Amino acid sequence: MSDITALLHAGLLVSDLARAKVFYESVLGLKRIADRPALPYPGEWYELGAGQQLHLMNLPNPDAASVRPAHGGRDHHIALAVSNMDALKSRLDAAGVQYTVSQSGRAALFCRDPDANTLEFVEPG
């Protein structure tokens, strides 16, 4: 039995923090954590609920030139729970963000942020 009990945060690299903030705040509706500590690089932290966070780090991406698979489910990704998948789809459509549905048959979709980080969204049943 593992002593690991939770995922506390996920960190994603972004090349343009202002552009990333528009995506995460305006499109996805995440709420910024105001008291991010002073770190030696720009970034933002977002609250995901239940003590979980998403950290955006404006740092060089060593994988920036790599070719990403067309379907995000076949790429490294983080999965986020959503309370209303239809509302999320509407926001993604309005912002022109392309997404694919899960190929496993689950009620899930995948999209990429402006830096090609893959996000999976699942509406728990």
The answer to whether residue 51 is domain-embedded is yes
d(CA 104, CA 15): 31
Q: Name residue, tokens 């090349």.
A: 15
The answer to whether residue 1 is domain-embedded is no
The answer to whether residue 97 is domain-embedded is yes
What tens digit of pLDDT does each residue of 5-54 get?
889 999 999 999 999 999 999 999 999 999 999 999 999 999 998 899 99
The answer to whether residue 32 is domain-embedded is yes
Parent domain of 21: 9-60+68-122
d(CA 79, CA 109): 10
What is the total count of domains within the chain? 1
Lowest mean pLDDT among 31-35, 70-74, 75-79: 70-74
What tens digit of pLDDT does each residue of 84-107 get?
999 999 999 999 999 999 888 888
The answer to whether residue 2 is domain-embedded is no
